[in-house]
Structure 1
Amino acid sequence: MQTQKITDKIVNWLKGYAENAGAKGYVIGISGGVDSGVVSTLCAMTGLKLLAIEMPIRQKEDQINRAQEHIRFLETKFPNVQGMTVNLNEPFEALYSTFEVDEAHFPDQKLAFANTRARLRMLTLYYYGQINGLLVCGTGNKVEDFGIGFYTKYGDGGVDVSPIADLYKTEVYELARSLDLPESIKNAIPTDGLWDAERTDEQQIGATYPELEKIQKEWGTKTEADYSGRDLEVFRIFSKMNRAAQHKIQPIPVCDIPEEWRS
């Protein structure tokens, strides 16, 4: 992978987009993961203002430590970066106590609260983005955004730009190494950080990113009959999640009204 060309392309694209939009720069959520680590660094490299915000909600200590370490890395290396922490525990707990909590009757409640965390962070990023004249920068990669839809609609999927959405997760790790990010970020095990119990992406999905990438690269050219063994298992996982995520992947459907009905 030509990491330097890709890095230059994304940095110039981010800078040009913000300048054309009349924005001062970007705001981004820092999770302690490789995606936010890479994207925040690319934003910082534009020379435009970058507001890097850690937003803990019932967060695990290792995630907090990685996020804070990365923010220090950015602030030390780039004078245009401002880091901050917005503790969202209290507003989340207020929502938790306000919403109806009845897991016996609503089995999807834990997932709904996980998505609520992501949406609360989206709200926070847009607040700080608006008062500072900044665009919200997304951190989703190609597998998450266009393969299995592994993100929260109007949560971490609610962004103004998505600079690494055409890169696979393994390619994001390559960029992390080429950008010489902190070791903790380069080696971070993928997790969405939305659950009280530690749950890695692989545990939730049932497949690794390299396994999913293999299927996505062959998607549309091969069918279930072309696979066997573990590849067949991953194909079925990918296929099921891709079907379920079409409401995220496709544009919002609009009910078209015939023109002749308007008169």
Structure 2
Amino acid sequence: MKTPIFNAEAVAQHITLWLKNYAESAGVKGFVIGISGGIDSAVTSTLCALTGLPTLCIEMPIHQAESQVARGREHLAFLQAKFSNVRTNKADLTETFDVLQKALPQEDQDSDTLRLTLANTRARLRMTTLYYFAGMERALVAGTGNKIEDFGVGFFTKYGDGGVDLSPIADLLKSEVRALGLYLKVPSSIIDAKPTDGLFGDDRSDEDQLGANYDELEKAMFAQEQGVTAADLSGREREVFEIYTRLNRINQHKINPIPVCIIPQNLKK
């Protein structure tokens, strides 16, 4: 099952206009976005830059792998060479993270739960930093989540990279984001790099964490939308489908809006 082909030029123009109209309606000056060295932030920042509005790109390393830092800087150089409305800044959060980590109880230093919790803490420090810059710039924080991450498997940190003002590429599959990156001439080193959230201070990829790559997960998403069940599949397709449906189920608390307890009127009297 193949991802439907789409018109990258038309999609880029549509998102750019949507971003510009939203910012103007909100009465803000432009956008702030975190640069990770990955394809999602590269495409999103380029689309923001295409609006012509001030676009501030922030590096926020926390014990970051050099390969990720290098890709991020390559993309920043690409943006600044192409767009006069793009500015960059850097907030090295490594020391801040280390101080916070030391201040928190960590009874089991080797726990997988601890490692995941600290990874999410990194994402939340970055969110706080982006909103600092957004407040100073009177700008909106642009999110970088794609459709598979945001609405498929919930592969993001609540109030971390999920804490944004608007999501320009959240209706695009990862394959579509790649196609858009090619159209926008994002550096090939970024397009070809294995996706990673960079939250663990090592070289583990998204596929290592999820147990499947994005192309496989897209097929599973399509299959579920068409009413396919695990019993209809076999081999690797069934394995990935079960990974997808399990993650989709357990991450509904991130995928759906915050539940509100509605109090019946008769109880308020």
- With the length of structure 2 as denominator, give the TM-score of the two structures: 0.96
Give the equivalent residue in structure 1 for 2:188. 183
Question: How far apart are 1:107 and its partner, in Å?
Answer: 4.3
Query: Is 1:81 matched up with 2:91?
Result: no
- Give CA deviations for 1:216-262 in whole Å, capped at 9, x if unaligned: 11214111111111100001100111111000011111111110111
**Percent of paired sites with the same residue:** 54
Q: Distance in 2 between matches of 1:129 and 1:176?
A: 25
Give the stretch that moved more between structures: 188-197 or 4-13: 188-197
Give the equivalent residue in structure 1 for 2:3. none
Q: Distance in 2 between matches of 1:171 and 1:7?
A: 11
Give the stretch that moved more between structures: 193-202 or 46-55: 193-202
Query: Is 1:142 matched up with 2:147?
Result: yes
- Give CA deviations for 1:59-109 in whole Å, capped at 9, x if unaligned: 000000111111111111100000111100111011111111222695411
Q: Distance in 2 between matches of 1:210 and 1:28?
A: 26
5+ long unaligned stretches in structure 1? none
* Counterparts of residues 75-224 of structure 1 (less than 5 Å): 75-103=80-108, 107-220=112-225, 221-224=227-230
Name the SS for the 1:53 alignment partner.
strand
Q: Distance in 1 between matches of 2:21 and 2:232?
A: 43
Question: How far apart are 1:196 and its partner, in Å?
Answer: 2.2
Question: How far apart are 1:198 and its partner, in Å?
Answer: 1.5
Name the SS for the 1:175 alignment partner.
helix
CA RMSD of aligned residues (A): 1.1
Give the equivalent residue in structure 1 for 2:17. 12
Q: Distance in 1 between matches of 2:135 and 2:109?
A: 40
Give the equivalent residue in structure 1 for 2:48. 43
Q: Flag as ranges the 4+ runs of structure 1 deviating above 3 A.
A: 104-107
Query: Is 1:25 matched up with 2:10?
Result: no
- With the length of structure 1 as denominator, give the TM-score of the two structures: 0.98
5+ long unaligned stretches in structure 2? 1-5
